[in-house]
Amino acid sequence: MVRSDDVSTLPRRRGDAPPRCRRTAPFRRKTLHELTLAEHVVHIVEDAARRAGARRVTRVRLALGLLAHVETDTLLYCCQLAARDSLAADADFQAERSPAQAHCADCGADAELAALPARCPQCGGENLSLQGGEEMRVIDIGIS
């Protein structure tokens, strides 16, 4: 049995592909995360389209919170993959990032955050409590 730790010590012949880089493992895990989410999105979209009597889905718009821990481009790509052989096979998947709400413990200000890392827009402080921004939802679906 060959363990993944031993791959770099295996003898290689000329023309063999190089061993996989260990740095790709986090990328694969993240892609699997997005693919699982994309499969759920396609299931929700297909279910709604069938209830509406649609023959196909033309567009899907998603709202992704700033703190949703989702790579937008990867999710959209995974949605295209997950939608193969479904009513949404030719759909245009789009995503909008929605801001998070924050409350500054230093000055008491409430603000919307559009990017991380975040600072209070009033005082520049970093002592923020975040509220919301973790959502991921289907905003609307175009059907025909």
- Residue 50, domain CATH: 3.30.2320.50
pLDDT at 29: 52
107 appears as a binding residue in the annotation: yes
In this prediction, what percent of the chain has a pLDDT beyond 70?
A: 78
pLDDT at 20: 46
93-140 pLDDT, tens digit each: 999 998 889 999 999 999 998 777 888 989 999 999 988 888 999 999
Average pLDDT along the chain: 82
Residue 92 domain flag: yes
Q: Is the pLDDT of residue 2 over 50?
A: no
Are β-strands 110-113 and 136-143 bridged in parallel, bridged antiparallel, or unpaired? Answer: unpaired
How many CB atoms within 10 Å of residue 87?
A: 21
21 appears as a binding residue in the annotation: no
Check residues 90 and 28 and name the one with the higher pLDDT: 90
Q: Which residue range is the domain that position 137 belongs to?
A: 27-99+132-143
Q: Is the pLDDT of residue 17 over 70?
A: no
As for how many domains the chain has, the answer is 1
104 appears as a binding residue in the annotation: yes
Q: Residue 134: exposed, middle, or buried by beta-carbon count in 10 A (0-12, 13-18, 19+)? A: middle
Q: Report the run of H or E that residue 59 belongs to, with start and end.
A: strand 57-65
Residue 12 domain flag: no
Residue 85 domain flag: yes
Residue 123 domain flag: no
Smallest CA-to-CA distance from 141 within 89, 77, 91, 101 is with 91
pLDDT at 89: 97
Smallest CA-to-CA distance from 109 within 127, 94, 92 is with 127
